[in-house]
């Protein structure tokens, strides 16, 4: 159960009594768990009073879902949707990596193909979008730079939530400047089948107020397995969105070299 219908009110100056301000569907878990410090505005659904004359500009809660997406699959989409729901996010922007410097052991599919598959996979969800930030940036890309650029491009108050699997999140703490990432965004580490969460819990700074573990429905899907399946002629239907499967076929991706 992720949502709760909340009615809340304020006692505004000039009003003769309680004014019903709004009715909002908010996630129970967000009220309980999203306590990132430095928040200037109340979270979506907060019952904090609004003073007369106060700037009521609402800070956008923006999820940033990073990944190679080679190809994007339903595990990624479920993760982003759960983050939207559990953390009361307004939107999630998917950021396909440009040239991932951590995946040097294999040749990564051209960024343009991975970007297009991500656009296809997310197009039916009005709260999902895809950014070209890393695709268009030459050279290796770093999460901290991406978060900074997203903040600048948001052109308004924004609170960032970097969403990624617990496996990949642990890597962040081996990257350069993990403290800088933590200063820029709340980090949401999603559970993933086959990944032992106790490793994350012992090695990652889970006590940090900007780090959360997010439990999601288990989908044992990986891009590695999808690439292998295509290469070996096994089905990928229902593992990826239909349009992504069609794109893979049309662009002859992941086929065994002739
Ligand atoms: P690869 O096998 O090539 O590494 P992947 O399936 O891990 O691909 P990535 O693009 O590396 O996909 O993943 C982007 C993010 O999504 C990572 O943080 C990863 O942990 C997370 N993720 C991928 N698949 C799942 C899944 N099935 N459930 C939860 N999180 C996932
Ligand atoms: Mg991966």
**For residue 4, what pLDDT is reported?**
41
204-213 average pLDDT score: 88
257 has pLDDT over 70: yes
Of 180, 198, 200, nearest to 188 (Cα)? 200
Give the pocket of ligand 1 (CB within 6 Å): 67-70, 75-76, 79, 164-165, 167-168, 190, 192, 219, 221-224
Best mean pLDDT range from 105-119, 154-168, 236-250:
236-250
**For residue 32, what pLDDT is reported?**
31
Asked if residue 41 belongs to a domain, the reply is no
Asked if residue 73 belongs to a domain, the reply is yes
Q: Which domain holds residue 178?
A: 3-35+57-251
Asked if residue 49 belongs to a domain, the reply is no
16-64 pLDDT, tens digit per residue, is 322 222 233 333 333 333 333 333 333 433 344 545 566 667 899 999 9
The conformation of residue 43, written as its DSSP 8-state character, comes to P
Give the number of the atom of ligand 1 that is nearest the alpha carbon of residue 220.
27
CATH code of the domain in which 199 resides: 3.40.50.620
Of 106, 116, 173, nearest to 143 (Cα)? 173
Cβ distance 69 to 81 under 8 Å? no
Cβ distance 97 to 145 under 8 Å? no
Output the CA 52–ligand 2 centroid distance in Å.
49
Give the number of the atom of ligand 1 that is nearest the alpha carbon of residue 221.
27
Asked if residue 126 belongs to a domain, the reply is yes
Q: Which ligand is nearest to the CA of 73?
A: 1
Percent of the chain with pLDDT over 70: 75
**For residue 35, what pLDDT is reported?**
35
Asked if residue 256 belongs to a domain, the reply is no
- The per-residue pLDDT of the chain, averaged, comes to 80
Percent of the chain with pLDDT over 90: 54
Region of poorest pLDDT, from 22-36, 117-131, 143-157: 22-36
The conformation of residue 232, written as its DSSP 8-state character, comes to T
174 has pLDDT over 90: no
Asked if residue 11 belongs to a domain, the reply is yes
Greater model confidence, 256 or 221:
221
Asked if residue 52 belongs to a domain, the reply is no
Strand 3-10 vs strand 211-214: parallel, antiparallel, or unpaired? unpaired
Output the CA 189–ligand 1 centroid distance in Å.
11
Q: What is the rounded CA–CA span in Å between residue 104 and residue 119?
A: 25
> Where residue 186 falls among pLDDT bands split at 50, 70, 90?
very high
**For residue 71, what pLDDT is reported?**
98
Nearest CA residue ID for atom 27, ligand 1: 75
Asked if residue 172 belongs to a domain, the reply is yes
116 has pLDDT over 80: yes
Number of domains in the chain: 1
């Amino acid at each position: 159960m992720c949502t709760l219908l909340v009615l809340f009110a304020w006692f505004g100056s000039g009003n003769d009594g309680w004014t019903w301000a709004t009715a909002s569907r908010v996630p129970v878990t967000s009220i309980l768990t999203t306590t990132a410090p430095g928040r200037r505005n109340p979270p979506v659904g907060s019952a904090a009073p609004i003073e007369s004359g106060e700037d009521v500009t609402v800070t956008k809660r923006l999820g940033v879902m990073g990944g190679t997406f080679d190809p994007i699959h339903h595990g990624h989409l479920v993760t982003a949707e759960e983050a939207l729901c559990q953390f009361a996010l307004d939107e999630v922007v998917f950021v396909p990596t440009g040239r991932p410097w951590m995946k040097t052991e294999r040749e990564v599919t051209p960024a343009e193909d991975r970007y297009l598959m991500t656009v296809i996979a997310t197009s039916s969800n009005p709260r999902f979008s895809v950014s070209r930030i890393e695709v268009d940036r030459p050279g290796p890309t770093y999460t901290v730079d991406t978060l900074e650029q997203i903040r600048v491009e948001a052109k308004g108050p924004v609170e960032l939530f970097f969403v990624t699997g617990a496996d990949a999140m642990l890597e962040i703490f081996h990257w350069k400047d993990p403290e800088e990432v933590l200063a820029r965004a709340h980090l949401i580490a999603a559970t993933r089948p086959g990944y032992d969460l106790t490793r994350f819990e012992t090695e990652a700074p889970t006590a940090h107020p900007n780090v959360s573990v997010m439990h999601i429905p288990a989908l044992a899907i990986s891009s590695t397995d999808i690439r292998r399946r295509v290469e070996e002629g096994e089905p990928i239907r229902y593992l990826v969105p239909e349009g992504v499967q069609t794109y893979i076929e049309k662009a002859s991706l992941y086929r065994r070299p002739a």
